[in-house]
Amino acid sequence: MQIICIEKIASTQLFLCEKIRKGEIRQNTAIYALEQTSGVGSRDNAWISSRGNLHLSFCVRERDLPSDLPLASASIYFAYLLKELLESFGSQIWLKWSNDLYLNDKKVGGVMSNKIGEFIICGIGLNLKFAPQNAALCDVKIEPKELIEEFIKVLEKKFLWKRIFSKYVLEFEKSKNFSVHYEGKIYALKDAFLYEDGSILLANKRIYSLR
70: alpha, beta or left? (left if phi > 0; alpha if psi -120 to 50): beta
pLDDT at 152: 97
* Bond preceding residue 11 cis, omega within 30 of 0: no
Antiparallel, parallel or unpaired: β 193-194 and 200-202: antiparallel
pLDDT at 43: 43
Contact at 8 Å (CB) between 58 and 28? yes
pLDDT at 26: 92
pLDDT at 36: 84
pLDDT at 39: 60
Give the Cα separation of 138 and 146 in Å (integer).
Answer: 15
Backbone angles phi, psi at 144, to 5 degrees: -55, -45
Contact at 8 Å (CB) between 77 and 69? yes
pLDDT at 40: 63
Please report the DSSP string for the chain in residue order: -EEEEEEEES-HHHHHHHHHHTT---S-EEEEEEEESSEE-GGG-EE---TTSEEEEEEEEGGGS-TT--GGGHHHHHHHHHHHHHHHTT---EEETTTEEEETTEEEEEEEEEEETTEEEEEEEE-SS---TT----SS---HHHHHHHHHHHHTT---HHHHHHHHHHHHHHHTTSEEEETTEEEE-TT-EE-TTS-EEETTEEE----
Give the Cα separation of 25 and 189 in Å (integer).
Answer: 39
Q: What is the pLDDT along the chain (211 residues), one digit of tens a residue?
A: 999 999 999 899 999 999 999 999 999 999 999 988 876 655 445 555 678 899 999 999 999 999 999 999 999 999 999 999 999 999 999 999 989 999 999 999 999 999 999 999 999 999 999 998 899 999 999 999 999 999 999 999 999 999 999 999 999 999 999 998 888 888 899 989 999 999 999 888 899 875 5
pLDDT at 55: 94
